[in-house]
Amino acid sequence: MPVESRVLSENLYFSGLSLPELDSIKSFFSEMRAERGEIILLEGELADRLFFVAAGIVKLFKISAEGKEQTLEFVRPGGAINEVSVFDGGTNPASAQAMGPVSLYIISRNDLESILRDYPRVTLNVIKVLAGQIRHLVSLVEDLSFRHVIGRVAKILLEHAGDGARPGQRLTQQEMAAIAGTAREVVGRSLKTLEDRGIIKLERHRIVVTDKEALKQMTDARY
């Protein structure tokens, strides 16, 4: 399918460009499709092309030394999935996988640099996007390093659990994140950690606290 100016205009990099300007740069792009589960990029690979999500969702993830998968982010339409490696010339910091049918717009590094030279507006937009990502990552680092998020999540579970006489409160991960003052992804990570340690069990629409004493001790956890 041809690259569409309308879809490009929804990308933050090209925000504010006129239709003639979008029409002139879309020739630099090609379209690629991926099916659910398909790996688009691998962590550690060099990148000479930038991938934008035009439709669908792409998951960015890392695999730990123990073989565990850690989801970093879901990239929605309008977002780029590997700008870090394209801009700094290094390797991909994460792998990318299609969560469902996905359409991607691809541009080579050389062509991207041409656009950045010819359209200062695009350069400013890129700087804004990268600055926003840095701000988000700094907040995550602060959360993970200093704020004992797992302890706050443990506290939330204890405070909202049912006690047999009355049912437990129902909370979404987003609600837990809002209470804990952190991001949804960090809550998900904390719940997985608690499950790995055998303190809770994640079931379909239920979180079962299997070791209440251990969970209480986690409320003082430093990591």
Which parts of 39-58 interact with another protein (CB under 8 A)? 55-57
Instruction: Among 104, 115, 122, 157, indicate the residue that binds another protein (CB under 8 A).
Output: 157
Q: Please, which residues have CB within 8 angstroms of residue 212's CB and are 6 or more apart in sequence?
A: 158
Nearer to another protein, 46 or 202 (CB): 202
Say whether residue 164 binds another protein (CB under 8 A): yes
Nearer to another protein, 90 or 132 (CB): 132
Q: Which residues pair with 103 in a beta bridge?
A: 33, 55
Cβ–Cβ under 8 Å, residues 153 and 193: no
Instruction: Among 18, 27, 145, 210, indicate the residue that binds another protein (CB under 8 A).
Output: 210
Instruction: Among 81, 86, 207, 218, indicate the residue that binds another protein (CB under 8 A).
Output: 207
CA-to-CA dists, residue 220 to 107, 155, 215, angstroms? 48, 9, 9
Instruction: Among 70, 173, 193, 219, indicate the residue that binds another protein (CB under 8 A).
Output: 173
Per-residue tokens: 17:
């460009």
Q: For residues 118 and 116, give the distance between their C-alpha atoms in angstroms, rounded to a whole number.
A: 6
Nearer to another protein, 107 or 215 (CB): 215
Closest distance of CB 133 from another protein, Å: 17
Nearer to another protein, 85 or 95 (CB): 95
Say whether residue 100 binds another protein (CB under 8 A): yes
Q: For residues 100 and 88, give the distance between their C-alpha atoms in angstroms, rounded to a whole number.
A: 29
Instruction: Among 161, 179, 214, 216, indicate the residue that binds another protein (CB under 8 A).
Output: 161
CA-to-CA dists, residue 165 to 12, 55, 162, 168, 181, angstroms? 51, 47, 7, 9, 30
Q: For residues 4 and 23, give the distance between their C-alpha atoms in angstroms, rounded to a whole number.
A: 8
Say whether residue 201 binds another protein (CB under 8 A): yes
SS3 93: coil
Say whether residue 108 binds another protein (CB under 8 A): no
Binding site residues, another protein, CB under 8 A: 36, 55-57, 74, 76-77, 99-102, 157, 160-164, 167-175, 184, 188, 201-210, 212
